Amino acid sequence: MATGEIWLKVPPTIRVNYEGGLRPWVGGKDLILKTIGILGVDGATYSALEYAGGTIKSLPMYQRFTMANMAVEAGAKSGIIEPDEITLAWLRGRARQESRVFKSDLDARYERILTIKADGLEPQVAFPPSPANARPLSDVGHINLDQVFIGSCTNGQIEDLRDAASILKGRKAAKGLRLIVIPSTPAIYRKAIEEGIVGVLLDAGAVIGPPCCGPCLGGHMGILAEGERALSTTNRNFIGRMGHPKSEVYLANPFVAAASAVLGRIGGPDDL
Amino acid sequence: MRIEGKVWKFGDDVDTDLIIPARYINVSDPDVLAKTCFIDIAPEFASAVVPGDVIVAGKNFGCGSSREHAPLAIKAAGVGVVVAKSFARIFYRNAFNIGLPLVESEGAWNGIAAGEKVVVDLTNGRIENLETKKTFPARPIPEFMHRLIEDGGLIPHIRNIKKSAR
């Protein structure tokens, strides 16, 4: 702002097309974990990732946010989705000024184009210590957990909390497991109270934290001790990320996180 | 610009949590940050690093959280330059913006061992192993980015531009 200039390298674009309808308990988190698994943690370094295809066209906004949020886990500069009716509906009542829609040219040049078949996709779980270590839920095996964390910038929208609450309603977190929920913003926190979601989560034994990063980066409240294991809806699971260098973090979507909290091990809603 | 020093070697995908874990970033004093730089993967680094030392790393150095503390800690520890096969994007910008030079070199990693002395020539994009006398090409850094480093980072650089415009 001081000079009106900024230094940057213009990024090439990698387009990822997703085709097919999603199975139950599968969403944006699973699409992006699968994508990072294919690209690797530096597969999109300094590039722009553009998510497109039929699956994305019907993907709700909160799940698009998760995908955009995690573009950096593949090294990308940005993760973009062409604005459509879903985007414009989300903007209504939120945007303080007239929006201008930018779309990729029909003859745009892409550095690489990938296609991912989404219809057979299972919920994905990224194993420590890399967001690129994605495996389908059915290949996870028996992994006991000490903590489940639902929230953060990546998956702390009101819809994420609704997804988790729909699984946790009438159920309890496993004995000895810490279930921590952190809404992304004070407005989401308020909404979760008004909708009764906070009550459902408290009944399930959850601790609700104030909107912040919380244990995601080992900041506070839910820091992992030596040898502990957590499943988390956050964006990265590097060595020591949530506490002790000898603790482990697994990444998954809020449905899987909620089910895993009840099971005391990694599992999906179908295992309940 | 030439930097001569002893090599510290690291592998691929060294993330910012490994460069400086989040439990040590509740201060912003670079000299304090330097004391815990690489504490989980190279605990001896902070006490043994000497001004001018050179880091030689694999691909995707600095991936993960966008914390500026990471390049600040490396710079304050005295490291003169980081050489890597490639850098993560946010770390790359942060480093130049706080005045820590980085150079990309595909070949250097295989031809340089920990503890060896090297000279990194930023201007001509060349790294020389003083023990084996072998040289490795590095991707040249654009001219304006040399000035960022010479000025000590983006903020002092902008101040200098403003001063000379007056």
What pTM value is reported for the model? 0.93
Number of C-beta neighbours around residue A100 at 10 A: 6
Q: Is A82 inside any structural domain? A: yes
Each residue's pLDDT, cut to its tens digit, for chain B (166 residues) gives 899 999 999 999 999 999 999 889 989 899 999 999 999 999 999 999 999 999 999 999 999 988 999 999 999 999 999 999 999 999 999 999 999 999 999 999 999 999 999 999 998 999 999 999 999 999 988 888 999 999 999 999 999 988 887 7
Q: Is A258 inside any structural domain? A: yes
Q: What is the pLDDT of residue A99?
A: 85
Note whether A28 and A159 are same-domain residues.
Answer: no
Note whether A136 and A265 are same-domain residues.
Answer: yes
- CA–CA distance, A75 with A44 (Å, rounded to integer): 5
Length, in residues, of chain B: 166
Length, in residues, of chain A: 272
Note whether A79 and A192 are same-domain residues.
Answer: no
Q: Kindly state whether B29 is in contact with chain A, defined as any CB-CB distance less than 8 angstroms.
A: no
Q: Is A251 inside any structural domain? A: yes
Q: Kindly state whether B166 is in contact with chain A, defined as any CB-CB distance less than 8 angstroms.
A: no
Q: Which residue of A has its CA nearest to B61?
A: A42
Domain end (from A70, A102, A117): A117
Suggest the residue from A5, A8, A45, A248 to mutate for an interface test with chain B (most B CBs closer than 10 A): A45
Peptide bond before A183: cis, by omega within 30 degrees of 0? no
Domain end (from A117, A147, A167): A117
pLDDT in tens, A99-108: 899 999 999 9
Which domains are seen in chain B, by residue range?
A: 2-165 (3.20.19.10)
Q: Kindly state whether B42 is in contact with chain A, defined as any CB-CB distance less than 8 angstroms.
A: no
Direct distance between the N- and C-terminal alpha carbons of chain B, in angstroms, rounded to an integer: 28
Note whether A141 and A254 are same-domain residues.
Answer: yes
- Angstroms from B151 CA to nearest CA on chain A: 15
- Between chain A and chain B, how many beta carbons pairs sit less than 8 Å apart? 62
Number of C-beta neighbours around residue A269 at 10 A: 18
Domain end (from A84, A117, A150): A117
Note whether A165 and A68 are same-domain residues.
Answer: no
Domain span at residue A36 reads 13-117
Number of C-beta neighbours around residue A12 at 10 A: 14
Are residues A45 and B18, on separate chains, in Cβ contact within 8 Å? no
Q: How confident is the model at residue A227 (pLDDT cuts 50, 70, 90)?
A: very high
Q: Kindly state whether B19 is in contact with chain A, defined as any CB-CB distance less than 8 angstroms.
A: no
Q: Is A211 inside any structural domain? A: yes
Q: Kindly state whether A154 is in contact with chain B, defined as any CB-CB distance less than 8 angstroms.
A: no
Mean pLDDT confidence for A9-38: 97
pLDDT in tens, A243-264: 999 999 999 999 999 999 999 9
- Percent of chain A at pLDDT exceeding 70: 100
Q: For residue B39, list chain A residues with Cβ-Cβ distance below 8 A.
A: none
Note whether A93 and A215 are same-domain residues.
Answer: no
The token duo for A241 is 């990320």
**Contact residues, A window 243-272, toward B, CB-based 8 Å cutoff:** 243, 245
Q: What is the CATH number of the domain that holds A73?
A: 3.30.499.10
Are residues A236 and B65, on separate chains, in Cβ contact within 8 Å? yes
Q: Is A88 inside any structural domain? A: yes
Q: Lowest-confidence range among A94-108, A132-146, A201-215?
A: A94-108
Mean pLDDT across chain B, nearest whole number? 95
Q: Is A1 inside any structural domain? A: no
Note whether A101 and A146 are same-domain residues.
Answer: no
Q: Which residue of A has its CA nearest to B91?
A: A75
Count of domains observed in chain A: 2
Query: Which burial class, exposed, middle or buried, applies to A134 when counting CB atoms under 10 A from its CB (0-12, 13-18, 19+)?
Result: buried
- Angstroms from A61 CA to nearest CA on chain B: 24
Helix (H) / strand (E) element for B122: namely none
Note whether A106 and A141 are same-domain residues.
Answer: no
Q: Which residue of A has its CA nearest to B159?
A: A2
Q: Is the pLDDT of residue A192 over 90?
A: yes
Q: Is the pLDDT of residue A110 over 90?
A: yes
Note whether A54 and A165 are same-domain residues.
Answer: no
Are residues A45 and B161, on separate chains, in Cβ contact within 8 Å? no
- Angstroms from A73 CA to nearest CA on chain B: 7
Note whether A102 and A204 are same-domain residues.
Answer: no
Q: Kindly state whether A72 is in contact with chain B, defined as any CB-CB distance less than 8 angstroms.
A: yes
Q: What is the pLDDT of residue A198?
A: 98
Q: Is A2 inside any structural domain? A: no
Note whether A159 and A110 are same-domain residues.
Answer: no
Q: What is the pLDDT of residue A35?
A: 98
Q: Kindly state whether B151 is in contact with chain A, defined as any CB-CB distance less than 8 angstroms.
A: no
Q: Is A103 inside any structural domain? A: yes
Note whether A154 and A265 are same-domain residues.
Answer: yes
- Measuring CA to CA, which residue among B18, B2, B5 is closest to residue B58? B18
Q: What is the pLDDT of residue A1?
A: 63
Q: What is the pLDDT of residue A5?
A: 84
